[in-house]
Amino acid sequence: MEHTNSREFNPEPPVVRRLRNRQETVWINPRRRPFEEVSASLPLTEADIRDAADRLERFAPLLARLFPETAPARGLIESPITEIPRMREALNSRSGADIRGRLLLKRDDLLPVAGSVKARGGVYEVLKHAETLAFGAGLLKRGDDYARLASPEARRFFSGHSVHVGSTGNLGLSIGIMSAALGFSAVVHMSADAKAWKKELLRSKGVRVIEYEDDYSRAVEEGRRAAGSDPAAYFVDDENSRDLFLGYAVAAERLKGQLAGLGIVPDEEGPLVVTIPCGVGGAPCGITFGLKHAFGDAAVCLFAEPTEAPCMTLGLATGLHDRISVADIGLSGKTAADGLAVGRPSAFAGKCVETLADGAVTVEDGRLEGWLRTLWETEGIFVEPSACAAFQGPVLFSREEDFLTPERRERAVYLCWATGGSMVPEKERARLLGKR
């Protein structure tokens, strides 16, 4: 992998200087272009998103059988939107925000199967792999009810195959739980940043967890190596996967219907400002890709990253993508937001959105638990610290007069994407909430 470092910037761009100095940063993407200008040149299309959505519909009967909690939604893995007006008031009064419109929370902390945004892409990629294998083995044919893949015969077949992934936590949960439910031998390679309870939960589901005293990149490297030595193994490549990306993108069209139900139809003068916590970039970039197809330029898409691990902001701002790491500008990559503890961004995801993403914000770790507790106190909602990074979007962008005109600021609707939380054990919740 080619590396660079801060000494190679001459002169050093102001955004890189701010990132290197661990300053909370607002970055507006100078490469962004009107969606209609760039849509034809993107590496994936709206038809690809539709294909992914159709595949999830075919698998819905199987999901309803394997995961009874999805049965009321007929096997659909989806989350609600909650308006959080008291949190809006708290951000305005305590954090210096100037949020004048509505503040919404996309509740991916409640997603079935894995309790995080990773249930979208992770579940989708495992299902697509299972479909490919099942068609090749004659276990499925066009028009079949996919629930037949819950049969003992199908489980015996899948048990002869393994699925590997490298993860800091939530992707490992979604890949491991879904793979094990189908009968695959599931192996999750976890970095030192991963929480102990996530490892324990995976093991309780029959997943093999391999731990490394190193960062996310090492876990991915080892997972890729282990899968590459076994012809019956499949590696979910969070850094380069088109399937993960498309699984996330499906969320946007569903969101359009949910917003309409709340009387919200975004347009360019009344934009939907969406902030998504960002690690390696697959989920936020995939969601951004879907949002731009669903809403065009009426969707303002922002990434939120910790000041110690702003890898996507760094990759996009320099144009170097995966050819630069936060370590190259002296940052540790360590953060209390375990799902965001990534030093090097996905090249595939970043290049897909380099003309689509509107910008990014960075946030100090110290704010995350405070916002976590404020959300609980004001709205009775618990999410993981990493999900709370999303609140930095409305806090900082609501004051960005150069980006949002006064008219747009009045009409903007802010949506924070809650990336995880419902599977956090009670003891860990109590600790995060400051209870004893």
Mean pLDDT over 91-102 rounds to: 96
**Percent of the chain clearing pLDDT 70 (strictly above):** 97
First to last CA, the chain: 46
pLDDT reading at 327 higher than 60: yes
| Pairing of β 208-211 and β 413-418 | unpaired
Mean pLDDT over 296-309 rounds to: 98
Confidence of residue 120 (pLDDT cuts 50, 70, 90): very high
pLDDT reading at 271 higher than 70: yes
Sign of CA dihedral 319, 368, 167, 253: negative
| CB distance 223 to 187 below 8 Å | yes
Question: Tens of pLDDT along 230-268?
Answer: 999 999 998 899 999 999 999 999 999 999 999 999 999
What are the φ/ψ torsions at residue 167 (nearest 5 degrees)?
A: -155, 155
Contacts of residue 219, Cβ cutoff 8 Å, sequence gap at least 6: 166, 167, 168, 189, 190, 191, 212
pTM recorded for the entire structure:
0.95
Contacts of residue 394, Cβ cutoff 8 Å, sequence gap at least 6: 88, 91, 97, 99, 103, 273, 275, 414, 416
pLDDT reading at 7 higher than 60: no
Question: Tens of pLDDT along 122-152?
Answer: 999 999 999 999 999 999 999 999 999 999 9
Contacts of residue 320, Cβ cutoff 8 Å, sequence gap at least 6: 4, 314
Longest CA–CA separation in the chain, Å? 63
The secondary structure of residue 232, as a DSSP letter, is T
pLDDT reading at 424 higher than 60: yes
| Pairing of β 162-167 and β 413-418 | unpaired
Cα–Cα distances in angstroms (integers) from residue 38 to residues 34, 41, 244, 281, 299, in the given order: 7, 5, 22, 20, 15
Question: Tens of pLDDT along 313-322?
Answer: 999 999 999 9
pLDDT reading at 6 higher than 90: no
Given this model, what pLDDT does residue 414 score? Answer: 98
Pairwise CA distance, residues 429 & 436, whole Å: 10
Mean pLDDT over 209-237 rounds to: 92
Pairwise CA distance, residues 272 & 258, whole Å: 13
Tokens of 23: 């300053």
Given this model, what pLDDT does residue 400 score? Answer: 87
Pairwise CA distance, residues 281 & 75, whole Å: 27
| CB distance 200 to 188 below 8 Å | no
Cβ neighbours of 328 (radius 10 Å): 21
Mean pLDDT over 47-59 rounds to: 98
pLDDT reading at 298 higher than 90: yes
Given this model, what pLDDT does residue 4 score? Answer: 42
| Pairing of β 413-418 and β 26-28 | unpaired
| CB distance 249 to 290 below 8 Å | yes
pLDDT reading at 9 higher than 90: no
Pairwise CA distance, residues 425 & 356, whole Å: 37
Cβ neighbours of 425 (radius 10 Å): 14
Question: Tens of pLDDT along 273-282?
Answer: 999 999 999 9
Given this model, what pLDDT does residue 8 score? Answer: 60
The secondary structure of residue 193, as a DSSP letter, is T
Confidence of residue 216 (pLDDT cuts 50, 70, 90): confident
Given this model, what pLDDT does residue 436 score? Answer: 52
Given this model, what pLDDT does residue 402 score? Answer: 78
Domains of the chain: 8-113+245-432 (3.40.50.1100), 118-238 (3.40.50.1100)
Confidence of residue 193 (pLDDT cuts 50, 70, 90): confident
Given this model, what pLDDT does residue 1 score? Answer: 34
Given this model, what pLDDT does residue 10 score? Answer: 64
What are the φ/ψ torsions at residue 304 (nearest 5 degrees)?
A: -120, 130
